[in-house]
Amino acid sequence: MAVNKLATGRDKAGEKATLQLSKDIKGEGIMSEEKKLTGEVFYPSEAVITRAHAKNWEEICEEAEEDLEGFWAKEANELHWFKKWDKVLDDSQKPFYKWFTGAKTNIVYNCLDRHTQTYRRNKLALIWEGENGEFRSFSYFALRRDTCRFASILKSLGVQKGDRVTIYMGRIPELVIAMLACARIGAIHSVVYGGFSVEALHERLEDSQSKVLVVADGSYQRGKIVHLKQIADEALQRAATVESVLVVKRTGEEVNMEAGRDMWYHELMNLPIAGTTCHIEVMDAEDPLFILYTSGTTGKPKAILHTHGGYMVGVYSTLKYVFDVHEEDRYWCSADPGWITGHSYIVYGPLLNGTTSFMYEGAPTHPFPNRWWQMIEKYGINLLYTAPTAIRGLMRYGEAWPNRYDLSSLRILGSVGEPINPEAWKWYYRVIGKERCPIMDTWWQTETGMFMITPVPTMPLKPGSGTRPFAGLKMDVVNEGGEPVGPNEEGYLVIKNPWPAMIRTIYKDPGRYVEQYWSRFPGMYMTGDSARKDEDGYFWVIGRVDDVIKVSGYRLGTAEIESALVSHPAVAEAAAIGLPHEVKGNAIYSYVMLKSGFEKSDQLAEELRQHVGHEMGPIAKPEKVEFVDSLPKTRSGKIMRRVLKAKALGQDPGNISTLEE
Ligand code: WTA
């Protein structure tokens, strides 16, 4: 490949970089002359390129463009199927696309059983370190065994194919085991992030109509205990469908165990019914694997539904090419399994690839800001996937912390969750990756299931750009009318063709699925992000254009924060917006109108912050609560958050002709 010849290491800042491409970077036909890449460009090293799965990426993309189904069939053929598909893509009922129709599989078979039949049986699947320094590890054999045992327990409690099971824990191995156990027997898991609180959990239990809740007694965060079981008890008082609560002992604190409903995980796992040879449910490729709630433009969080077949192929293939996973690698994704990044790239992707994954329970800076670097050295991590907010947070403590450790095992770095500012990118590249490790800035969403705009390690990189869409994907930036905009013009980021790990529907609400994603621009999936595409065809994602706020990479909806505020007896109306924040990316600011009879005070503002923390979770706590006498609204009564934001930033609010007063 042409890139090889020119792989010269780091390019000088500001200089025009040159690159011989066999194909126009925009995918518009063969180009033989030299293509100049604009801006600051970083090239992969020869060492990275020679062993990369994506060595011939240009050709792979070309082939996928010509034969989309052929590309995905080839990827799917690397996995096990009880029965192969009749059709790779069925688009007869757009936008309800189906993948690998007629095929039979189970994602867990490919995550565990496929490996335990080979030399990988004794390979480590999962290495775990607790915030308090505890250590545990699981071979593929052990992870399969414990998954089977827990699956047997779920079955004996009456959980059947299609039933929903909610999982609410910190980052501990039992969370992974519970997810895999559900999938093994065909139950649909719904993981609720352990940083969420009472109302967020209640809403998700209620909407999913879960029969079983798997919860931990508590979790460790920055040396403190989060009382998960206690929060769950409160949520359960508001939710009626849960019949059994299975409690994992993590902190050993005293918890309330309700007779007839609550049972200890460790006691159940030692019962004879916890068989180690639990039968695996043969699933249709299109059968649901999980639902995961995420915030949208309006109202309640929606349950995004993913399936066994297409999702499996998508996450397997993307992780393989993008993080260039090899047999001897140790991979660490620092996300939480409670979010899509954890589902796809802590649990399913690494196991599908048969790799060794590391998982860490706690905060990056606990007890000191050396924690991450120390663990990279200690466990010999090769592939590191994290978020810009974590990088910025660690950057603040200076280079001396990472420089004290041997980080030479690192080969590839990754970033996800929000745009990475070039300053953080360069720090990550220079201080952590020692200018050897390419940074995979992956853009994707809960709904897309897998990486969408992403480099592969063989590509020239520009700090702050996720480069180009993954093989086979057609993505674009369009204007209000749905037409492509010119180079470097800002517009709506859309996806123009289907991909295997795509959202199938919003659980129980197919109408909302169509309306939310496919109605704004006919025939195109609307991402909700704004972006621009530069003259080289590189995408630069700018941020959300809707009422979603990314706080430290976590996806929250203004509507949920506002409804948490309004559930306090003193609040009449509330509005929430995101304002730029140096470390968190965005911080939540809220504006509150009080009911008559309540007095504005600092104490009440603090009480409201705590109330949001209690209902939604600490991540949703507003940075600031400001009391106002009125909120800017349209004549139809919609709060104009745009006006609040402009005012807070001292900017011109733009068109306010629809403002009521
Ligand atoms: C944002 C997280 C810029 C984006 C996997 C998207 C990003 C939302 C990036 C989805 C990135 C994610 N660069 N922005 N590399 N990755 N985003 O569903 O706004 O929690 O729409 O999925 O995160 O958030 P979600």
Instruction: Give nearest CA residue, ligand 1 atom 7.
Output: 418
Tell me which amino acid residue 78 is. Answer: E
Instruction: Give residue 657's pLDDT band: very low, low, confident or very high (50, 70, 90).
Output: confident
Which ligand 1 atom sits closest to the C-alpha of 294? 18
Q: Give 479 Cα–ligand 1 centroid separation in angstroms.
A: 20
Specify whether the CB–CB gap between 302 and 89 falls below 8 A: no
The model's pLDDT over 616-634, given as tens digits with 9 standing for 90+, comes to: 999 999 999 999 999 999 8
The model's pLDDT over 110-144, given as tens digits with 9 standing for 90+, comes to: 999 999 999 999 999 999 999 999 999 999 999 99
pLDDT at residue 59 in the model: 97
Instruction: Give residue 35's pLDDT band: very low, low, confident or very high (50, 70, 90).
Output: low
- For residue 58, pLDDT beyond 70: yes
What number of helices (H) and strands (E) belong to the chain?
22, 32
Most confident of 32-46, 233-247, 303-317, 635-649: 303-317
Residue 636: alpha-carbon gap to chain centroid: 35
Q: How far apart are CA 332 and CA 386, in angstroms?
A: 8
Q: Which of 398, 325, 389 is nearest to 363 (CA)?
A: 389
Specify whether the CB–CB gap between 103 and 333 falls below 8 A: no
For residues 273-283, average pLDDT: 93
Q: Give 444 Cα–ligand 1 centroid separation in angstroms.
A: 5
Instruction: Give nearest CA residue, ligand 1 atom 25.
Output: 445
pLDDT at residue 450 in the model: 98
- Tell me the percentage of the chain whose pLDDT exceeds 70: 94
Please, which residues have CB within 8 angstroms of residue 603's CB and are 6 or more apart in sequence?
none
Q: In the predicted model, what is the mean pLDDT of the chain?
A: 93
pLDDT at residue 637 in the model: 85
Ligand 1 neighbours (beta carbon < 6 A): 294, 339-341, 415-419, 441-446, 466, 527-529, 541, 544, 550, 555
Given ligand 1 and candidates 389, 416, 517, which is best to mutate, with the most ligand atoms within 8 Å of its CB? 416
Q: What is the chain's percent helix, strand, coil content, to nearest 5?
A: 30, 25, 45
Given ligand 1 and candidates 418, 439, 554, which is best to mutate, with the most ligand atoms within 8 Å of its CB? 418
- For residue 33, pLDDT beyond 90: no
For residues 446-453, average pLDDT: 98
Which ligand 1 atom sits closest to the C-alpha of 447? 18
Higher pLDDT, 558 or 18: 558
The model's pLDDT over 297-343, given as tens digits with 9 standing for 90+, comes to: 777 899 999 999 999 999 999 999 999 999 999 999 999 999 999 99
Q: Give 107 Cα–ligand 1 centroid separation in angstroms.
A: 25
For residues 284-305, average pLDDT: 92
At 65, phi and psi to the nearest 5?
Answer: -70, -40
The model's pLDDT over 184-220, given as tens digits with 9 standing for 90+, comes to: 999 999 999 999 999 999 999 999 999 999 999 999 9
Q: Give 382 Cα–ligand 1 centroid separation in angstroms.
A: 24
Higher pLDDT, 239 or 346: 346
- For residue 247, pLDDT beyond 80: yes
Instruction: Give nearest CA residue, ligand 1 atom 8.
Output: 445
- For residue 263, pLDDT beyond 90: yes
Q: Give 500 Cα–ligand 1 centroid separation in angstroms.
A: 19
The model's pLDDT over 539-550, given as tens digits with 9 standing for 90+, comes to: 999 999 988 999
Higher pLDDT, 27 or 63: 63
Residue spans of beta strands (DSSP E) within 462-616: 475-478, 491-495, 505-506, 525-533, 539-544, 548-551, 554-557, 571-581, 585-594
Q: Give 454 Cα–ligand 1 centroid separation in angstroms.
A: 12
For residues 257-275, average pLDDT: 96
The model's pLDDT over 373-394, given as tens digits with 9 standing for 90+, comes to: 999 999 999 999 999 999 999 9
Instruction: Give residue 27's pLDDT band: very low, low, confident or very high (50, 70, 90).
Output: very low
Q: Give 550 Cα–ligand 1 centroid separation in angstroms.
A: 8
The number of C-alpha atoms within 13 Å of 475 and in the hemisphere containing its C-beta is 32
Q: Give 431 Cα–ligand 1 centroid separation in angstroms.
A: 24
Given ligand 1 and candidates 494, 506, 538, 541, which is best to mutate, with the most ligand atoms within 8 Å of its CB? 541
pLDDT at residue 659 in the model: 74
What is the DSSP track for 292-329? EEE--SSSS-EEEEEESHHHHHHHHHHHHHHTT--TT-
Which ligand 1 atom sits closest to the C-alpha of 554? 20
Question: Bridge partners of 246?
Answer: 214, 263
Which ligand 1 atom sits closest to the C-alpha of 555? 20
Given ligand 1 and candidates 193, 311, 322, 443, which is best to mutate, with the most ligand atoms within 8 Å of its CB? 443
- Tell me the percentage of the chain whose pLDDT exceeds 90: 89
Specify whether the CB–CB gap between 334 and 386 falls below 8 A: yes
pLDDT at residue 7 in the model: 37
- For residue 17, pLDDT beyond 70: no
Q: Give 622 Cα–ligand 1 centroid separation in angstroms.
A: 21
pLDDT at residue 534 in the model: 97
Instruction: Give nearest CA residue, ligand 1 atom 10.
Output: 445
Instruction: Give residue 661's pLDDT band: very low, low, confident or very high (50, 70, 90).
Output: low
Please, which residues have CB within 8 angstroms of residue 501's CB and are 6 or more apart in sequence?
306, 310, 311, 313, 314, 315, 318, 344, 448, 449, 450
Given ligand 1 and candidates 550, 586, 619, which is best to mutate, with the most ligand atoms within 8 Å of its CB? 550
- For residue 644, pLDDT beyond 60: yes
- For residue 488, pLDDT beyond 60: yes
Instruction: Give nearest CA residue, ligand 1 atom 11.
Output: 443
pLDDT at residue 635 in the model: 86
